[in-house]
Each structure stands twice: as structure tokens, then as C-alpha cells.
């Protein structure tokens, strides 16, 4: 049954009203503003030489490396994330939601702290190197970690695996296993079943997760800077260098546009693939799709997978947490110094030692962070839900066609360019937000909103249209259809989306540092303030605050998990 044309186009335009208004005000307007200012600084005839620079070997090499490391990172993230998603989707075991929450923590950690954690494990005087030197009687550390491509890749996997676990895992958990069973009964082996039944059904969520991971890696800044070292540069790093170090705004502007078009290209490519391969499915409640770990094989798989995830994602974080309660002062050979347990760093956090006007006690920083994160979750759901519904209603609608790739642009836009645009464009009436706290969640929503749409759309798309049609035939209004059919079916996906929005905001540093009022620092800003000063107390406090950030993240994610809107019912 096809909806009548009138019925089809009107609601879609209405659904897009709020998202379009938001994107125009908080994305396109600031971006146009900063690019306008940047290009107005060009001398006459400067544009030709600018384009020449754009295709110079120097820039092309940076572009090539940006693509190469992003592709490699995405593949590695999928290689770890897909088996992990399978484990979380198909098996039921104790502590699963805790495991899921823990796996999300890396996503929010500040790069400087993560780098310190990795170095404590893998650095030239890290645990692993010291152990190996001891074991193999070596005089030089066998593993070179800092300033290598390997460090970049490892950190990207560390940060982004949770995206695959969440997005693919939740979709997979509701795939009807009877299709696989049918294939097996018809004689297909495990691999054939996966290749010809499961993967095609799973594809929309894999593609959506890969796109997000790829764009995150493509626009990577902190990881490249801190772990990759000065020998590696992505477009984002080069844009920062041109903007801040050289103040060459025209070149920075054109590089930002280049990065933007690459993102747009990837998104359009994704749209084509997803459109061809998305099928409406019968989703099933988890209790029908999940098994206990009974067989010897499944237990072995679960053990191996959980250990692998823990080693890669949890070990560095654990090292950090342990260091935050350990005396750090190295032995200076002057007096015997026993490393031991201490809560000094946590205690010191509550003291305003310098009587500084910007001092914020940890509880205040936690409150500010959670406040912004909750606001971001609400904003991005308010925008993301109508967008995702519109996108799934009618694929041929012209507005959908336009908005689908456009809404991804904020993710691919250079943070330094957009950040400067944001604060210089939104400082005059009618939108004078320069000192409003709203500015921060509004900025965080730019990153969170595409995430929300991308994690909702596959779930909504997979709801069989005939369920809605049946509802409509039986007299339900469009709102009723949404509330009684779509919402319960997509309930899990909405929670996943909210979790992402919440954690994106919790961990965001770049934009926050640019906008936040110094009296109200978020946790990452407060951590950065401490780690940028010498002294054991400062460093220890940064580690302590990072540990608090981890705990807040885990608690936040577990509480969102409890907020079950509805479990998929039976139809």
C-alpha cells in the first residue's frame, strides 16, 4: 500500500523543520561566517595560487595519509568490533551490561591522559618493555610505541570500537535467528550462513558504524598530535597549524572545505550502498535471539573475546586508575621511598590551594559535565528522532535526499574552523549566546546529532511498513502509529543514541575549551588544566580526575541502560 502523495510529503517537511533550523543556525551560518572572513583575507588573484597549493605534493601527501590511516583504523576497529558485537548480540551472560558500559569508557577519555596510560604500558620504560628486557636480557627496549603509525592505529581502535559494539551489536541482537536456522537446515555451513544470510541483513548497521568510525578517524586530531608525533599530520592537524600557528586563514579555509567534501563523498557513497542493501526485517525481542553460553565452543569464544576486549580497551584505563591511587614520586636515590596506596590526589582535588578564582571542586566539575551531557542527549534526540523518522518514511522524497548526507557534515568539519566560526557568529543579536551556558550543549549536539540519526535510522528502517499500515488501517493516527509501533520497536536504538550523545558531550574537549566559562570547567577541561603544569600533585590530580570521569561515564551509561523505553514486543 502506497501512501497518497499529499500524506507523504507534508509530514516529512514538518519533521525536518526543527533539524533544518538548527543546522542552518548553528552549523551553516557559523561556517559561512568563518569561511567568508577567511577568504576575504585573500589578496587579488590569491585564489589561483591557493588552488595551486591545494594540489601541491605537500597537501596531497597529507590527504593521502589522512585517507590511509582512516581506512586502516576503520578496518582494524571492525576486526575487533564485529566479533565483539556478535558476542554481545547472540549470547546472554552475567555482567553483560557492565561489560558494555565499560567498553564505552575509552570514548570519553582525554587524549593526553590516554597517551600517558599507553606509555605507562608500552612506552620505552613502560611495563611491557621493562618485562621483555628483563625476560630476554635486552639492553634496549624491544617495542617502539610513541610516535609510530601503530600507536595511532591502536588509539583509534581503543577509542572507536565501542561504536561498532553498540551500533552493530544492538541491531544484531534483534535479528531473527530463524533465518539463520533455516539456512543451516538447508545445508549451509557457518561461514555460508554468515556470508549469505547474516551479513547482508546486518549490513545497514555495519555500514553506518563504519561510516562514523571512518569520519572520526579521518578528522582525527588529538591522537595524531599526541601519539603520532610530529612526523604525522592529518588534514585536521594541518588546518590547526595553518590557523593557529601561521594564521593563514585562506589556506586553512580551503583545507577545511576539502575535508568537508571528502566527508560528503564518503557519506553519499554510504547512502548509495545502504539504500541498495537495506531490507525491512522482522525484529525479534532479545530473549528469542540470545542463547546462554552452554557449549564448550561458545564459552571458549566468549572467554577469548572478553579477554581481548579487556586487554585492548580496559588495561590502559586500569593502569591509569591504579596510578591515581599510587604514590608517583620516583625514587630519587636520596631516601628509601616505598610506592604505596594513597588517596592524596583525590583529597587535594577538594582544596583550593592557590585561592584561585577559577578553582572548581570536583563535584562542581562533575555536575557541570553531567548537566551539559544530559542537555546534549535531550537536544540531539529532539533533533535526531524526527530526522530519522523522516529519512525512513520515504526514500524518494527530495528533502530526505538532500538532508541525508548534509546532516553528517558537522562530523567532518574541521573542529578549529567550526569552533572559531561558532563563537564569532553567535555573538550578536538576535543570537547573542556568547555568555550563555547553552552554547556548549548546542556545540556538542553538532557532533552528537549525526550519531543519533545514524544509530536510529537503521532500526527504524528495518520496521516492516505493513505494521504501520495495519495500524493506520485500523484507525490509528500517524502519532499513534509512531508511539505504539515505531517507538517500542526502536526503543533500544533510542537508548543507544542517547548514550552516544551523552558520552560524546562528556568527553568533548576542543570546543569546550574554546567556549567554556573558566569558572565552570567540565571534567576534561579541568583535567587539562592540571596536566599542563609541572609537579607530582598536579599530575596525580589529573589522573584522579580522569578516574572520576571514567566512573561517571560508566554510571551514566548504566543508568541510561535502565531507562528502558520499551522492549521489542511480539507482533
Partner 1 sequence: MRKVQIIIAAILLSLTACTPTTTSPPQVEKTLTIMTHDSFAVSAEVVAAFESANSVSLQFITSGDVGTALSRAILSRNNPIADVFYGVDNTFLSRALDEDIFEAYDAPALADIPDGFKLDNQNRVLPVDYGDVCLNYDIAYFANHDLEPPTNLEDLLKPTYRGLLVVENPAMSSPGLAFLFTTISHFGEDSYLQYWEGLVANDLLVVNDWETAYYTEFSRWGGSRPIVVSYSSSPPFEVLYSEEPIDTPPTAVVTSPGSCYRQIEFVGILRGTTNRALAEAWVDFMLSPQFQEDMPLQMYVFPVNPQATLADAFVRFLAVPTSPASLDPALISANRETWLQDWTLAVLR
Binder of partner 1 out of 18, 54, 328, 472 (CB under 8 A):
328
Q: Are 217 and 106 in contact (CB under 8 A)?
A: no
| 529: Cβ contacts below 8 Å, ≥ 6 apart | 521
Q: Does 422 bind partner 1 (CB under 8 A)?
A: no
Please, what is the minimum distance in Å from the beta carbon of residue 401 to partner 1? Answer: 30
Nearer to partner 1, 192 or 428 (CB): 428
423-452 positions binding partner 1, by CB under 8 A: 423-424, 427-428, 434-437
Q: Does 367 bind partner 1 (CB under 8 A)?
A: yes
Nearer to partner 1, 135 or 357 (CB): 357
Residues forming beta bridges with residue 407, ordered by sequence position: none
Query: Which helix (DSSP H) or strand (DSSP E) does residue 91 occupy?
Result: strand 91-92
Stretch that binds partner 1, among 182-190, 200-208, 405-413, 516-524 (CB under 8 A): 516-524
Q: Exposure of 60 by Cβ count < 10 A (0-12 exposed, 13-18 middle, 19+ buried)? A: exposed
Q: Does 324 bind partner 1 (CB under 8 A)?
A: no
Identify the three-state secondary structure at position 563: coil
Residue 242 corresponds to which cell in the numbers above? 595553518
CA within 13 Å, CB half, 533: 11
How far is 261 from 470, CA to CA, in rounded Å? 42
Residue 201 corresponds to which cell in the numbers above? 541483513
Size of the site for partner 1 (CB under 8 A): 87
Binder of partner 1 out of 10, 308, 363, 566 (CB under 8 A):
566
Task: Label residue 477 left, alpha or beta by phi (over 0 means left) and psi (-120 to 50 means alpha).
Answer: beta
How far is 52 from 48, CA to CA, in rounded Å? 6
Stretch that binds partner 1, among 172-180, 403-411, 442-450, 480-488 (CB under 8 A): 480-488
Question: Within 10 Å of residue 222's Cβ, how many Cβ atoms?
Answer: 20
Please, what is the minimum distance in Å from the beta carbon of residue 411 to partner 1? Answer: 21
Please, what is the minimum distance in Å from the beta carbon of residue 433 to partner 1? Answer: 11
Q: Does 123 bind partner 1 (CB under 8 A)?
A: yes
Binder of partner 1 out of 17, 61, 97, 125 (CB under 8 A):
125
Q: Exposure of 70 by Cβ count < 10 A (0-12 exposed, 13-18 middle, 19+ buried)? A: buried
Residue 75 corresponds to which cell in the numbers above? 578496518
Nearer to partner 1, 101 or 530 (CB): 530
Nearer to partner 1, 284 or 529 (CB): 529
Closest CA to 10 of 275, 395, 397: 397
Please, what is the minimum distance in Å from the beta carbon of residue 354 to partner 1? Answer: 6
218-237 positions binding partner 1, by CB under 8 A: 225-226, 229-231
Q: List the x/- string, 521-550, binding to partner 1 by CB under 8 A.
A: ----x--xx-xxxxxxxxxx----------
Q: List the x/- string, 239-278, binding to partner 1 by CB under 8 A.
A: -xx-xxxxxx------------------------------
Q: Are 263 and 218 in contact (CB under 8 A)?
A: yes
91-120 positions binding partner 1, by CB under 8 A: 112, 115-116, 119-120
Nearer to partner 1, 93 or 437 (CB): 437
Amino acid at each position: 500500500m502506497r501512501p497518497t502523495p499529499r500524506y507523504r510529503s507534508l509530514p516529512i517537511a514538518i519533521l525536518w523543520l526543527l533539524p533544518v533550523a538548527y543546522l542552518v543556525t548553528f552549523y551553516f551560518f557559523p561556517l559561512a561566517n568563518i569561511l567568508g572572513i577567511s577568504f576575504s583575507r585573500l589578496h587579488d588573484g590569491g585564489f589561483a595560487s591557493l588552488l595551486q597549493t591545494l594540489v601541491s605534493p605537500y597537501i596531497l601527501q597529507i590527504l593521502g595519509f589522512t585517507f590511509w590511516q582512516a581506512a586502516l583504523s576503520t578496518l582494524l576497529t571492525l576486526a575487533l568490533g564485529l566479533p565483539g558485537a556478535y558476542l554481545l548480540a547472540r549470547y546472554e551472560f552475567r555482567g553483560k551490561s557492565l561489560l558494555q558500559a565499560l567498553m564505552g569508557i575509552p570514548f570519553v577519555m582525554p587524549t593526553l591522559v590516554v597517551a600517558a596510560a599507553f606509555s605507562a604500558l608500552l612506552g620505552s620504560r613502560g611495563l611491557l618493555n621493562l618485562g621483555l628486557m628483563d625476560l630476554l636480557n635486552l639492553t634496549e627496549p624491544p617495542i617502539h610505541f610513541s610516535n609510530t603509525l601503530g600507536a595511532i592505529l591502536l588509539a583509534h581502535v581503543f577509542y572507536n570500537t565501542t561504536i561498532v559494539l553498540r551500533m552493530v551489536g544492538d541491531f544484531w541482537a534483534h535479528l531473527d535467528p530463524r533465518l539463520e536456522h533455516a539456512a543451516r537446515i538447508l545445508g549451509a555451513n557457518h561461514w555460508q550462513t554468515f556470508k549469505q544470510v547474516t551479513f547482508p541483513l546486518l549490513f545497514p548497521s555495519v555500514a553506518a558504524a563504519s561510516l562514523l568510525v571512518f569520519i572520526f578517524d579521518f578528522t582525527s586530531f588529538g591522537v595524531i598530535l599526541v601519539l603520532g608525533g610530529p612526523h604525522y599530520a592529518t588534514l585536521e592537524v594541518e588546518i590547526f597549524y595553518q590557523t593557529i600557528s601561521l594564521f593563514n586563514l585562506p589556506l586553512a579555509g580551503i583545507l577545511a572545505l576539502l575535508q568537508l567534501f571528502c566527508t560528503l563523498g564518503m557519506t553519499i557513497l554510504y547512502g548509495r550502498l545502504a539504500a541498495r542493501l537495506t531490507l525491512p526485517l522482522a525484529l525479534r525481542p532479545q530473549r528469542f535471539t540470545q542463547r546462554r553460553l552452554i557449549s564448550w565452543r561458545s564459552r571458549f569464544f566468549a572467554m577469548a573475546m572478553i579477554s581481548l576486549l579487556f586487554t585492548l580497551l580496559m588495561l590502559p584505563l586500569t593502569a591509569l586508575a591504579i596510578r591515581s591511587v599510587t604514590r608517583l614520586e620516583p625514587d630519587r636515590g636520596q631516601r628509601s621511598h616505598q610506592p604505596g596506596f594513597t588517596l592524596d590526589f583525590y583529597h587535594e582535588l577538594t582544596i583550593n590551594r592557590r585561592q584561585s578564582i577559577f578553582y572548581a571542586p570536583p563535584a562542581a566539575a562533575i555536575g557541570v559535565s553531567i548537566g551539559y551531557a544530559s542537555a546534549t542527549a535531550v537536544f540531539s534526540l529532539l533533533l535526531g528522532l524526527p530526522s530519522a523518522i523522516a529519512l525512513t518514511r520515504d526514500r524518494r522524497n527530495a528533502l530526505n535526499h538532500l538532508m541525508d548526507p548534509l546532516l553528517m557534515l558537522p562530523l567532518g568539519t574541521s573542529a578549529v574552523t567550526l569552533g572559531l566560526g561558532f563563537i564569532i557568529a553567535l555573538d550578536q543579536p538576535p543570537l547573542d549566546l556568547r555568555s550563555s551556558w547553552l552554547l556548549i550543549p548546542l556545540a556538542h549536539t553538532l557532533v552528537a546529532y549525526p550519531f543519533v540519526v545514524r544509530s536510529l535510522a537503521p532500526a527504524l528502517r528495518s520496521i516492516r511498513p505493513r505494521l504501520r499500515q495495519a495500524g493506520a488501517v485500523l484507525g490509528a493516527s500517524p502519532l499513534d502509529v509512531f508511539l505504539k509501533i515505531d517507538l517500542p520497536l526502536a526503543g533500544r536504538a533510542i537508548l543507544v543514541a542517547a548514550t552516544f550523545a551523552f558520552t560524546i558531550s562528556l568527553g568533548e574537549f576542543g570546543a569546550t575549551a574554546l567556549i567554556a566559562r573558566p569558572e565552570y570547567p567540565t571534567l576534561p577541561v579541568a583535567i587539562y588544566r592540571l596536566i599542563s603544569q609541572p609537579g607530582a600533585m598536579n599530575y596525580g590530580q589529573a589522573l584522579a580526575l580522569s578516574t572520576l570521569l571514567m566512573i561517571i561515564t560508566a554510571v551514566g551509561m548504566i543508568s541510561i541502560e535502565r531507562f528502558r523505553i520499551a522492549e521489542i514486543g511480539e507482533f
